[in-house]
Amino acid sequence: MKIAVLLCILGAHLPLLTALFVVTSPRQFYTASYGNNITVECRFPVGSNFNANQLNVYWYHILGDGSLQEIYRMREGKEMLQDQPSEYKERVFLMWDELYSGRALLEISQVRVSDAGTYRCAIDLNGVDYKDTALKVTASYENIKTSVTKEKEETEFICQSMGYPLATVAWLDGNGCGLNETANTTYFTDNQGLYNIKSVLRVKANINRTYVCTFWNKELNRTTSTDLRITDIKGTHEEADIFPSAVGIYIIIAVVTAPIVILIVIILFLFWTVKMRRRQHKTYKKTNMDHSLM
């Protein structure tokens, strides 16, 4: 008897259960690469008589304090973007053609670090429901800049790269032994939110050995590395001894030009002497002629 009553109750509520409006998401989180495009999605039920003019779509970015920042709104089939935050203008787009398939796809172009977080898709169509999904933003430390400077007793290796999130830097010698204790790693964030990491390793070595600098991005579980050798030296203190300093250059110029200046002075002096002798000779000759006439 109790079973019969329960079946009757379920049967009475079955139309309500089948008519329940539910928004779903095919993925719990998305991962986007910095500077690329990403499309996040939520899904909702549509019937054969679906009319986009009756549909309201809202996309929110949930901030760190839990507040909702509306980044896209469509009401009754029309976009309403007058209150859209400036950082999202012309960067977020809804794919309208997919609405007829019950898919609200929001494309975010030129992904920034600040785009990371939770997004909420709210749908109003014969019922109201929403679904949250997370977005992770990563930037690989692929471009590693290096420099090697050899001093009198030590050699300095520098690795520098940019990415997101914060990576760990590890140093290894040619035998695979860690050298992190002797390395100094610092970082700062730029105006785009990327981490600029610089790691400096100083070793006492004068032989041709190889050292490996590795950036490990835990979020991506990805490593990028580069080899550095003492032979990769681009500027050293020894080179400063080989090539003359500014004072040395002045000395060389003085040594080279001094004989030339002296030679010019001698030539001018000889020229002046010859000229004076000719003038004296003319004067003497004229004086003798005057005496003879008298």
* pLDDT over 80 at 45, yes or no: yes
The pLDDT, as a whole number, for residue 32 is 95
- Report the alpha-carbon distance of residue 137 to residue 220 in Å, rounded: 10
Mean pLDDT in residue range 190-208:
87
Per domain, the residue ranges of the chain are: 20-138, 144-232
* pLDDT over 80 at 278, yes or no: no
Mean pLDDT in residue range 97-105:
95
Mean pLDDT in residue range 71-83:
93
Name the range with the highest mean pLDDT among 91-105, 192-206, 250-264.
91-105
Q: Helix, strand or coil for residue 259?
A: helix
CATH number of 20-138: 2.60.40.10
Q: Which residue has the tokens 């719990």?
A: 28
**Same fold for the pair 20-138 and 144-232:** yes
Confidence of residue 17 (pLDDT cuts 50, 70, 90): very low
Q: Which residues contact 126 (CB under 8 A, 6 or more apart)?
A: 21, 54
In sequence order, what E strands does the chain have? 29-33, 38-43, 56-62, 68-75, 78-79, 92-94, 103-108, 117-124, 128-138, 145-150, 155-163, 168-173, 183-189, 195-203, 210-217, 222-229
* pLDDT over 70 at 289, yes or no: no
The pLDDT, as a whole number, for residue 286 is 54
Fold of 144-232: Immunoglobulin-like (2.60.40)
The pLDDT, as a whole number, for residue 7 is 31
* pLDDT over 70 at 193, yes or no: yes
* pLDDT over 80 at 81, yes or no: yes
Mean pLDDT in residue range 29-56:
94
49 vs 250, more confident:
49
Mean pLDDT in residue range 75-85:
92
Confidence of residue 269 (pLDDT cuts 50, 70, 90): confident
Give the burial class of 178: count Cβ atoms within 10 A of its Cβ; 0-12 exposed, 13-18 middle, 19 or more buried.
exposed
- Report the alpha-carbon distance of residue 136 to residue 118 in Å, rounded: 9
pLDDT, tens digit, 9 for 90 and up, residues 110-121: 999 999 999 999
The pLDDT, as a whole number, for residue 37 is 97
* pLDDT over 50 at 1, yes or no: no
* β-bridge pairing 29-33 and 128-138: parallel
Q: What percent of the chain has pLDDT over 70?
A: 77
Name the range with the highest mean pLDDT among 25-29, 245-249, 263-267.
25-29
* pLDDT over 90 at 35, yes or no: yes
Mean pLDDT in residue range 81-109:
94
Give the tokens for residue 48. Answer: 């054969």
